[in-house]
Amino acid sequence: MAEHQEGALSAYRVLDLTDQKGAFCTKILADLGADVIKIERPQGDATRSIPPFAGDVPHLERSLYFLFRYANRRGVTLNLEVADGKKIFEKLVKKADVLVETFPPGYMAGLGLDYQALRKINPGLVMASITEFGQTGPYRDWKGSDIVNYAMSNTMITSGFGDGAPINLPGTPSCDAASLIAAISIVLSLYMRGGDGQGRYIDSSVHECSRTALYPWMLPMYSYNVNPGAPPPPPEGRLGVMIFPVYPCKDGFIRVVALTPRQWDGLVRVLGEPEVLKTPEWREFYYRIANAADLYALMLEYTAKLTMQELFEKGHEEGVPVVPIYTVEGFTNSPQTEARRFYSEMKHPILGKFKYPGPPYKWSATQCEAKRPAPTLGQHNEEVYGKELGLSKQDLAALRRAEVI
Amino acid sequence: MANAPLQGIKVVSFGTGGVIPDFGMILGSLGADVIKVECRENPDFMRTIGGDPENIPGFNESNRNKRGIGLNLKTEKGQEIAMRLVKLADIVGENLRGGVMKSLNLDYESVRKFRPDIIYISSNGYGGTGPYAEYQAYGPMLSAFSGLLSLWCHPTDPYPAGANVPLPDHYASKMLVLAALAALDYRRRTGKGQMVDMSQVEMAANMIGEYYLDYTINERVPQPIGNRSPYAAPYNAYRCKGNDEWCAISVFNDAEWQSFCRAIGSPHWTREAKYADLPSRLKNVEELDKHVEEWTLQHKSREVMMILQNAGVAAGVLYRPAEIIDDPQLGWLDAIVEVDHPVAGKRLYPGVPFHISDVTLPASRPAPLLGQHTEEICREVLKMSPEEISALRDEGVLEFSTRLQEPKK
Confidence category of residue A286, pLDDT binned at 50, 70, 90: confident
Q: What is the pLDDT of residues A157-216, one digit of tens each?
A: 999 998 899 999 999 999 999 999 999 999 999 999 999 999 999 999 999 999 999 999
| Mean pLDDT (chain B, rounded) | 96
Give the gap in angstroms from C-alpha B379 to the nearest C-alpha of chain A: 30
Is A219 in CB contact (< 8 Å) with chain B? yes
Phi, psi of A77 (to 5 degrees): -105, 150
Q: Which of A147, A171, A322 sits opposite B227 (nearest CB)?
A: A147
Residues in chain A within 8 Å Cβ distance of B202: 340, 342, 357-361
CA pair distance B140, B29, nearest whole angstrom: 26
Name every chain A residue with its beta carbon within 8 A of the beta carbon of B340. Answer: none
Cβ-Cβ contacts under 8 Å for A330 (sequence gap 6 or more): A324, B147
Q: Is B216 on the interface with A (CB under 8 A)?
A: yes
DSSP helix/strand/coil, A352? strand
Q: What is the pLDDT of residues A323-341, one digit of tens each?
A: 999 999 999 999 999 999 9
Q: What are phi and psi for residue A356, nearest 5 degrees?
A: -120, 130
The answer to whether B151 contacts A227, with C-beta atoms less than 8 Å apart, is no
d(CA A233, CA A239): 9
* 8 Å CB contact of B349 and A216: yes
pLDDT of residue A3: 45
Residue B218 CA neighbour count, 13 Å, CB half: 20
Nearest CB among A157, A357, A366 relative to B209 is that of: A357
Q: What is the pLDDT of residues B198-209, one digit of tens each?
A: 999 999 999 999
CB within 8 Å: A231 and B51: yes
On the question of pLDDT at B155 being above 70, the answer is yes
Pairing assessment for the beta strands A352-357 and A343-348 based on DSSP bridges: antiparallel
Q: Which 8-state DSSP code applies to residue B232?
A: B
Task: Give yes or no for residue A4 having a pLDDT over 80.
Answer: no
Calculate the alpha carbon distances from A188 to A20, A180, A181, B349 in Å. Answer: 22, 12, 10, 23
Domains parsed from chain A with CATH numbers: 2-213+344-401 (3.40.50.10540), 244-332 (3.30.1540.10)
Percentage above 90 pLDDT, chain B: 94
Asked if B216 and A345 touch (Cβ cutoff 8 Å), the reply is no
pLDDT tens digits along B281-318? 999 999 999 999 999 999 999 999 999 999 999 999 99
Q: Does A124 reach chain B within 8 Å, measured CB to CB?
A: no
Cis, peptide link before residue A52, omega less than 30° from 0: yes
| A contacts of B278 (beta carbons < 8 Å) | none
Question: What are the helix (H) ranges across A165-307?
Answer: 173-196, 206-214, 218-225, 240-243, 261-270, 285-290, 292-303
The answer on pLDDT for A227 being more than 80 is no
CB-CB contact of B362 with B25 (8 Å): no
Work out the number of other CB atoms within 10 angstroms of the CB of residue B230: 11
Interface of A with B in 329-358 (CB under 8 A): 329-332, 334-336, 339-340, 342-343, 351, 354-358
- For residues A42, A43, A46, A52, the Cα torsion angle rounded to the nearest 10 degrees is 130
Amino acid of residue A381: N
User: Position B145: which residue type?
Assistant: F
User: Do the Cβ atoms of A357 and A373 come closer than 8 Å?
Assistant: no
CA atoms within 13 A on the CB side of B300: 4
Contact flag A340-B196 (C-beta cutoff 8 Å): no
d(C-alpha B195, C-alpha B227), whole Å = 40
What number is the average pLDDT over the span A249-254?
96
A39 sits in which H/E element: strand A35-40
Cβ–Cβ contact A57 with B under 8 A = no
Please give the single-letter amino acid code of residue A139. Answer: Y
Exposure string of A276-312, with b = 16+ CB inside 10 Å and e = fewer, is ebeeeebbebeebeeebeebbeebeebbeebebebbb
pLDDT tens profile A63-115:
999 999 999 999 999 999 999 999 999 999 999 999 999 999 999 999 999 99
Q: What type of residue is B251?
A: V
- Please tell me which of the candidates A65, A137, A148 has its beta carbon nearest to residue B332: A137
Q: Name the B residues in 1-40 with CB < 8 Å from any A CB.
A: 5-6, 22, 26, 30
Under the banding of pLDDT at 50, 70 and 90, the label for residue A230 is very low
Q: For residues B237 and A156, give the distance between their C-alpha atoms in angstroms, rounded to a whole number.
A: 9
A280: Cβ contacts below 8 Å, ≥ 6 apart: none
Residue in B126, B215, B350 closest to A219 by CB: B350
Fold of B235-323: formyl-coa transferase, domain 3 (3.30.1540)
Chain B residues touching A177 at Cβ < 8 A: 171, 174
Query: Which of chain A's residues have a Cβ under 8 Å away from the Cβ of B213?
Result: 54, 64, 67-68, 354, 356-357
**Separation of first and last alpha carbons in chain B:** 38
Strand blocks (E) in B200-245: 235-239
CA distances from B117 to A192, B108, B190, B195 (A): 19, 11, 10, 10
For chain B, domain boundaries: 10-207+333-405, 235-323
Asked whether residue B29 carries a pLDDT value surpassing 50, the answer given is yes
Cβ atoms of A157 and B319 closer than 8 Å: yes
* pLDDT tens per residue, range B206-240: 999 999 999 999 999 999 999 999 999 999 999 99
> What is the pLDDT at residue A243?
86
Which residues of chain A lie closer than 8 angstroms to B127, CB-CB?
336, 340, 362
pLDDT band at residue A224 using 50, 70 and 90 as cut-offs: confident
The model's confidence at residue A285, banded by pLDDT at 50, 70 and 90, is confident
CA distance A48 to B177: 30
DSSP secondary structure code for residue A404 in this structure = -
| pLDDT of the residue at B88 | 98
Identity of the amino acid at B369: L
Q: Do A332 and B356 touch (CB under 8 A)?
A: no
Question: Is residue A27 scored above 80 in pLDDT?
Answer: yes
CATH superfamily of B10-207+333-405: Crotonobetainyl-coa:carnitine coa-transferase; domain 1 (3.40.50.10540)
Confidence label for A232 from pLDDT (cuts 50, 70 and 90) = very low
* Helix A20-31 × helix A173-196 angle, to 10°: 50
Instruction: Give me the pLDDT at residue B407, please.
Output: 58
Task: Please state, rounded to an integer, the average pLDDT across all residues of chain A.
Answer: 94
List the single best residue of A69, A139, A361 to mutate versus B (max B Cβ within 10 A).
A361
> Of B6, B195, B248, which is closest to A151 when you measure between CB atoms?
B248
Residue B345 in this model has a pLDDT that exceeds 60? yes
The band of B406, judged by pLDDT with boundaries at 50, 70 and 90, is low
pLDDT tens for residues A349-382? 999 999 999 999 999 999 998 889 999 999 999 9
- State the sign of the Cα–Cα–Cα–Cα dihedral A88, A93, A95, A101: positive
Q: Which of B161, B210, B154, B205 is nearest to A331 (CA)?
A: B205
A-contacting residues of B 41-80, CB under 8 Å?
45, 48-52, 55-58, 60-62
In angstroms, rounded to a whole number, what is the distance separating the alpha carbons of residues B43 and B59? Answer: 11
Residue A24 φ then ψ, to 5°? -70, -30
Residues of A with CB below 8 A from B212's CB?
A: 68, 328, 332, 343, 357
A233-247 pLDDT tens trace: 455 678 888 888 999
Per-residue confidence band for A231, with pLDDT thresholds at 50, 70 and 90: very low
A339 Ramachandran zone, left/alpha/beta (phi>0; psi -120 to 50) = alpha
Do residues A93 and A121 touch, judged by C-beta distance below 8 A? Answer: yes
The predicted pLDDT at position A238 comes to 86
The pLDDT tens digits of the residues spanning B247-271 come to 999 999 999 999 999 999 999 999 9
Residue closest to A381 by CA, chosen among A59, A100, A37, A101:
A37
CA atoms within 13 A on the CB side of A19: 16
Whole-angstrom distance, CA of residue B54 vs CA of residue B49 = 11
Rounded alpha-carbon distances, angstroms, from residue B343 to A218, A240, B40, B52, B209: 19, 29, 17, 9, 43
